Copies of this chain bind each other. A is one copy, B any other.
Amino acid sequence: MSELVTAAMVVIGDEILSGRTKDRNIGHLADMLTAVGIDLKEVRIVSDDEAAIVEAVNALRARNTYVFTTGGIGPTHDDITADSIARAFARPCNYDDRAYSLLEKHYASRDIEFSDARKRMARMPEGAEHIDNPISIAPGFRVENVYVMAGVPAIFQAMLDNVIPTLKTGAKLISETVPSSLPEGAIGGPLGEIQAAHPETIIGSYPKYQDGSFWTEIVVRSRSKAALEEAIVAIRSMLEDIPPRQVAKG
């Protein structure tokens, strides 16, 4: 059986916490990691505050294979992610020569001033490796197991596409969904028994509510196809056995 590969995410930005910007990166990262068999264990959204960023990154990098951050690597005064990551690793945060040249050339070719603000985007913790940014050039970076990426979704996604193929991926979790018109309350008891009898699976029950009715999606996940199929058979058989009067709303 393959090693379990885990990940955590730190979303950095006051604009998410104020509700002004709705995050679109968490769901994308979750989908991408699940697709390659990496377990996303925790996400934290923190403000543009060095102490908060350092605490979250240090707590999560110690107990996960990978940590991914989004946000705070642009050119303005509230972009403090590079400094905060440097602080988390107790490394200096300097201009990176290669990033500096890349940006200098990029702006020169467009006849745009390479301002002090834009130069900030060349700063990163000493020893960091670049994550290429095909959209706006300013690179993200990696320090040990921490991948620092942009918050703008198009740029985050482009950077992540460069990162995913470099990751150690886990045994992929396979999943199968059994929709049921029954509400959770009608199936919770027997479903718990099925979970206990099928320890190699993770059985999730997701209540849905639409147009005044409750129904349930049951999702079985496993790293073993055989274990998954046995649990699915047990669930389908359980659903067929529920007395019809349970099918009422509630």
Chain A interface size, as a band, is 35 or more
Please encode chain A, from 88 to 110, with 1 for each CB lying within 8 Å of some chain B CB and 0 for all others: 00000000000000000011001
A204 to chain B, nearest CB (A): 6
Which one of A29, A32, A42, A106 has the greatest number of beta carbons of chain B within 10 Å?
A42
Contacts of A110 in B (CB 8 A): 248-250
Q: Is the interface of A mostly helix, strand, loop or mixed?
A: mixed
A-B contact list, 25 entries, CB within 8 Å:
A14-B202, A15-B204, A18-B40, A19-B30, A19-B33, A19-B40, A20-B206, A21-B206, A42-B44, A43-B43, A74-B188, A75-B184, A77-B191, A77-B203, A78-B203, A110-B248, A111-B248, A112-B245, A112-B250, A117-B189, A117-B191, A118-B185, A136-B214, A152-B207, A154-B209
11 A-B pairs besides A43-B44, A113-B186, A135-B209 with CB distance below 8 A are A15-B204, A15-B206, A16-B30, A20-B34, A20-B175, A42-B44, A77-B192, A107-B185, A107-B250, A115-B188, A117-B186
